[in-house]
A and B are shown apart, each in its own frame.
Chain A
């Protein structure tokens, strides 16, 4: 299992390298990435009986973070599903993608996504689960934005990422709370009774639901899924049938075992799921883009799955698992079909297409099977799982059943709307000559559609697959079984009603369309999302314009004032006890005088020469202080540096204007004085408080080993060149880089393309007291 989760990443690196070399054939390599996942099939087939395997690789034990993969029936079922659809999607893309695609990038993203999804479903460690969850968000961001030159793709990727990252943060918090309450980060090792009793239970439940709803595009968060259709079609098939969007469903299914006892769990999930079912189906009915139709259909079907798993009882889990398999089969097939249509006609717009059954007979057959399964017609798998859905809803009450019937009616209607591209007279965009797609495109679709058919015709096989998850999801006691004919039950009556209503909707398509135009609200999740993002953008530019777009002194003022406020608050909150004023040794008074003289003098100086000399005073004062405090090396260095600095300043003054300060406004002057004073006070307090917390020095080690280890009696020197040699090397590098920078800056001045053009008006931001004529002529320019 560990291999199954990580093998795709390895192959992804390989594909990134092979992509430019093999071109589209990289897809065959990519398909091999899911082999370890497919090798889990034997393990899955033995499943309801055999005990789940657990593979633990220690990773960060300090965080209780291990790569623990647990192959219970449900995880294995999902992993195999991902493996199958991933393989088919890889093979399909070989024929689908154009010659100019960036194959390396595409397959690398696709496989990273598949790997993180496998990790997500197999992971037994909560923290690792969160990690894989976030990786699916990131990789799907990359996949959706694959054609990043199109702004729509960027927008779609961003939207998907923002929404699912919001859920990711919620999941992080939920995972932390669960681990705290349950006393373990291992999903199978949680102390459930302790968690249920802990105060973290309800917050963790709500946060988990937020994560699941964002990922699985439940009602308020459904906005990202349709725009995620900007991804290439094989990606859509992979993301939407088997994987990313189902991550939320997986979460609800798995965590339902933890949270299902709470009445809050079904009370939130089931209504949200049913509302998503109906609303998604209603919106799907309105789409003209085939992929958008499928996207909303996915939203709707996810609502169905959510509501079933959310029931957190055996019946719901059984029905949901059965439908999960069916949905994966027919939805991936339909995406592949839409890809074929797009490929052959160059458009996905419903009104521009029609009568394709003659041109694309095989595709038509595939689409028919898949769409009938989606509509819930016998003898396909979709019919059976819908019966189970109705059965479950019958037990929940008539209101639930009515909503379920409404949702399924709409599903029925949009399934037939989808099929309209194959019916009626042939219609295709001018220039397109639709003919049957190559087998590379039709075979994966046909395989999936036949699976959907097999689920219906051989319900025993579907049941066996569903039952593999029974131990993991705790529905072993459920007595129901999959069959096309259960006798005349309330569910069957509801189904017949659904067909009648669905047929009515199909015949009254125009009126339904009119109604749709009128009923769709003007404010929806998308408008809210866009106004929110715009609000953030406007606020950010407002903030930037007022804090970062300022001239340097103003920015500094803001930063310093902020520091003053924050540290002042800290000081008030935690007042320190400082040393009393100690004795005043007379010996250091001259040093102090030098320092004070320099600091005060530079503020008063009007002449630049004076300023530099006075600064030097402080420099020499510092050197004297070093000498006084037993640091001869420092004093020597400081003296040398001081001398060089003065020379440097004098050199620079040849080209620089006078140092006399330009006038500040009165308010700024006062403000600057305050800030400077506060900074000084802060520095003093900082030094005083640090003196108080004097730690035992680590220098005895250096004193002892200076001669023994370094062979030098000047400990400071030995420290620099031996103990902290790399530090010194870094320092030398810094000085070297600075020397290069100084040199290049000085040499830049040679050409003197600095001037404003002759005769041009002076720049607006030129200080009024500095006429442009004072621009110096550099030395090199002189003849």
Chain B
């Protein structure tokens, strides 16, 4: 039984990851839900699937392990909160960007890393034991016209 569930969890995770990698925002959110399902089931499975009573003391034992269940209960609620937040963020992102294509959302870090020329914090201050440089032509500072974003 654990083996079957391990396979099912694998399937759920695989589906979740595949959705996560898609370009559509909604599918990314759905993908996370699938990963959450897989995770919850994994906790349950790892604790052992046995044909015993649920942890209700009104019933006669032996009981299932209650601890993983408590953990999953928390996880379900947190997972729901995550989904809600992501969905709202997706909504907002769509409103701001005008599209829901994850791959097209820019990242500030993706800007050209060489945009700032690689100077030291203080070019004059390279240490007093630098050799005396011959008088050099002053390098003109090129000011690029700032394009409108």
Chain A residues lying within 8 Å of B12, measured Cβ to Cβ, are 595, 599, 618, 680, 683
Residue of A154, A629, A734, A765 with highest tally of chain B CB at under 10 A: A629
Q: Mark B39-50, 1 if CB is under 8 A from A, else 0.
A: 011101111110
Determine how close the nearest CB of chain B comes to the CB of A652; give it in whole angstroms: 5
Q: Would B24 and A530 count as touching, CB distance under 8 A?
A: no
Task: Indicate which residue in A223, A596, A684, A715 contacts B127 across the interface (CB closer than 8 Å).
Answer: A223
Does A435 touch B at the CB level, under 8 Å?
no
User: Would you call B98 and A560 a contact (CB within 8 A)?
Assistant: no
CB distance from A228 to the nearest CB of B (A): 11
- Contact between chains at A716 and B69 (CB < 8 Å): yes
User: With an 8 A cutoff between CB atoms, is A767 at the interface?
Assistant: yes
Q: Which stretch, A134-142, A265-273, A358-366, A643-651, touches the partner chain B?
A: A643-651
Task: Decide yes or no: A541 and B114 within 8 Å by CB, A618-B37, A649-B87 being known contacts.
Answer: yes
**CB-based contact B66/A702 at 8 Å:** yes
Contact A633 B98 (CB under 8 A): no
* Pairwise interchain contact B129-A524, C-beta atoms closer than 8 A: yes
| Cross-interface CB contact of A715 among B66, B91, B104, cutoff 8 Å | B66
Please provide the chain B residues from 105 to 128 with a CB less than 8 Å away from any CB of chain A in the complex. Answer: 105-114, 118, 120-122, 124-128
B136 contacts partner chain A, Cβ-Cβ < 8 Å: no
Contact of B21 among A631, A676, A688, A691 (CB under 8 A): A676
Tell me if A517 is interfacial: C-beta within 8 Å of chain B: yes
Question: What band does the interface of chain B fall in when counting residues whose beta carbon is under 8 Å from A?
Answer: 35 or more
A634-B76, A659-B27, A767-B101 are known contacts. Are A680 and B17 too (CB-CB below 8 A)? yes
User: Which B residues touch A738, using CB under 8 A?
Assistant: 81-82, 84-85
Of the residues B23, B41, B57, contact of A553 by C-beta under 8 Å: B23
**A contact residues, total (Cβ < 8 Å):** 154
Residue pair B118, A560 in contact (C-beta under 8 Å): no
The answer to whether residues A579 and B2 also contact, given A631-B44, A683-B13 and a CB cut-off of 8 A, is yes
Q: In the complex, are the beta carbons of A292 and B2 less than 8 A apart?
A: no
Closest A residue to B18 by beta carbon equals A676
Determine the residue in chain A with the shortest Cβ distance to B42. Answer: A687
Contacts of A612 in B (CB 8 A): 30
Contact B15 A602 (CB under 8 A): yes
The proximity string for B residues 7-19 relative to A, scoring 1 for CB distances below 8 Å and 0 otherwise, is 1111111110111
Report if B77 contacts A (CB, 8 A): yes
- A659 to B24 CA separation, bound complex (whole angstroms): 7
Contact A622 B103 (CB under 8 A): no
Quick one: given A292-B128, A630-B64, are A778 and B110 in contact (CB under 8 Å)? no
Q: In the complex, what residues of B have CB within 8 A of residue A287's CB?
A: 128
Cβ contact within 8 Å between A553 and B67: no
CA distance A162 to B67 in the complex (A): 48
Chain B residues lying within 8 Å of A698, measured Cβ to Cβ, are 67
Q: Is the CB of A551 within 8 A of B6?
A: no
Docked pose: A482 CA to B24 CA in angstroms: 84
A526 x B129 contact (CB < 8 A): yes
User: Which residues does chain B contribute within 8 Å of A687, judged by CB atoms?
Assistant: 2, 5-6, 9-10, 42, 45-46
Are A679 and B13 in contact, with the CB atoms below 8 A?
yes
Confirm or deny: A520 has a beta carbon within 8 angstroms of a beta carbon on chain B: yes
Q: Which residue of B lies closest to A721 (CB)?
A: B70
How near does chain A come to B66, taking the closest CB pair, in angstroms?
4
Report the separation of the CA atoms of residues A677 and B74 in the bound assembly, to the nearest whole angstrom: 28
Chain B nearest CB, measured from A553 CB (Å): 5
Interface residue SS majority, chain A: helix
B4 within 8 A of A: yes
Q: Which residues in B have their C-beta under 8 angstroms from that of A691?
A: 2, 6, 45-46, 48
**Which listed residue (B42, B76, B130) contacts A686, Cβ 8 A?**
B42
Residues of B within 8 A of A572 (CB): none
Is B70 in contact with A684, judged by CB distance below 8 angstroms? no
Pair A537/B118 contact, Cβ less than 8 Å? yes
Residues from chain A with Cβ under 8 Å of B100 in the complex: 656-657, 770
Q: A625 near B: Cβ within 8 Å?
A: yes
Question: Is A694 an interface position by the 8 A CB rule?
Answer: yes
Kindly state the separation between the CA atoms of A527 and B120 in the bound complex, as whole angstroms: 12
Pick from A150, A538, A550, A775: contact of B98, CB under 8 Å:
A775
Asked whether A522 and B101 contact (CB < 8 A) given A596-B8, A679-B17, the answer is no
Q: Mark A719-745, 1 if CB is under 8 A from B, else 0.
A: 110011001100100110011011001
Task: Please pick, from B14, B70, B103, B108, the residue contacting A676 in the complex, using a CB distance under 8 A.
Answer: B14
Tell me the nearest residue of chain A to B129, going by C-beta: A283
Candidates A155, A524, A582, A631; contact of B122 at CB < 8 Å: A155
A683/B87 in contact, CB under 8 A: no
Contact A549 B110 (CB under 8 A): yes
The answer to whether residues A652 and B98 also contact, given A602-B15, A697-B67 and a CB cut-off of 8 A, is no
Question: Which residues on the B side are within 8 Å of A580 (C-beta)?
Answer: 3
CA distance A541 to B47 in the complex (A): 45
In-complex Cβ contact of B69 among A155, A634, A641 (8 A): A634
Q: Which residue of B8, B14, B30, B45 contacts A615 across the interface (Cβ within 8 Å)?
A: B30
Residues on B with beta carbons closer than 8 Å to the beta carbon of A522? 131
Of residues 510 through 566 on chain A, the ones whose CB sits less than 8 Å from some CB of chain B are: 517, 520-522, 524-527, 529-530, 533-534, 537-538, 541-542, 544-545, 548-554, 556-557, 560
Which residue among A545, A584, A588, A595 has the maximum number of chain B CB atoms within 10 Å of its CB?
A595
Cβ of A413 under 8 Å from chain B: no
In the complex, the answer to whether A731 meets B78 with C-beta atoms within 8 Å is yes
Tell me if B77 and A770 are in contact (CB < 8 A): no
Task: Closest A residue to B61 by CB, please name it.
Answer: A703
Q: Which residues of A contact B96 (CB under 8 A)?
A: 754
Q: What are the residues of chain B within 8 A of A749 when measuring CB–CB?
A: 91-92, 95
Output the nearest chain A residue to B123 by Cβ-Cβ distance: A151
CB distance from A724 to the nearest CB of B (A): 6
Stretch at the interface among A42-50, A400-408, A660-668: A660-668
The smallest beta-carbon distance between B39 and chain A, in angstroms, is 9
Q: In this assembly, does A191 line the interface, its C-beta being within 8 Å of a C-beta of chain B?
A: no
List of A residues within 8 angstroms of B110 by Cβ: 545, 549-551
Q: Known contacts A553-B102, A631-B72; decide if A697 and B47 are in contact (CB<8 Å).
A: yes
Distance in angstroms from B101 CB to nearest chain A CB is 4
Establish whether residues B17 and A676, one from each chain, have CB atoms under 8 Å apart when the complex forms: yes
B residues near A652, Cβ cutoff 8 Å: 26, 87-88, 90-91
Give CA–CA (A688, B22) in the complex, Å.
28
CA distance A385 to B76 in the complex (A): 77
CB-CB contacts below 8 Å: A173-229 with B: 223, 226-227
Distance (whole angstroms) from the CB of A781 to the closest CB of chain B: 11
Choose one: A530, A631, A648; the contact of B83 (CB below 8 Å).
A648
Q: Does B132 contact A (CB under 8 A)?
A: yes
Chain A residues whose C-beta falls within 8 Å of the C-beta of B109 in the assembled complex: 544-545, 548-549
**Which A residue sits closest to B54, measured CB to CB?**
A630
Given the complex of chains A and B, what is the CA–CA distance between A155 and B91 in angstroms?
Answer: 45
Is there an interface contact between B114 and A680, defined as CB atoms closer than 8 Å? no
Q: Is A480 located at the chain interface by the 8 A CB criterion?
A: no
Q: Judge whether A641 and B8 touch: CB under 8 Å.
A: no
Taking the closest CB of chain A, its distance from the CB of B43, in whole angstroms, is 10
Q: Cβ of A57 < 8 Å from any Cβ of B?
A: no
Report chain B residues within 8 Å CB of A680: 10-15, 17
Please give, as numbers and ranges, the residues of chain A lying within 8 Å of B126 by CB-CB distance.
526-527, 530
Cβ 8 A contact of B2, one of A283, A673, A688, A735: A688
Q: Which residues of chain B have C-beta atoms less than 8 A from A530's C-beta? A: 120, 126
Determine whether the beta carbon of B58 is less than 8 Å from that of A713. yes
Question: Across chains A and B, which 4 residue pairs bring their CB atoms closest together, nearest first?
Answer: A680-B14, A541-B113, A684-B10, A549-B110
Q: Can you name 14 extra interface pairs (CB under 8 A) apart from A687-B5, A720-B70?
A: A527-B126, A560-B17, A599-B11, A602-B34, A611-B27, A630-B52, A680-B12, A687-B42, A697-B47, A731-B74, A742-B84, A745-B89, A746-B92, A766-B104
- A-B contact list, 8 entries, CB within 8 Å: A296-B129, A521-B131, A525-B129, A527-B126, A552-B103, A556-B20, A619-B33, A702-B66
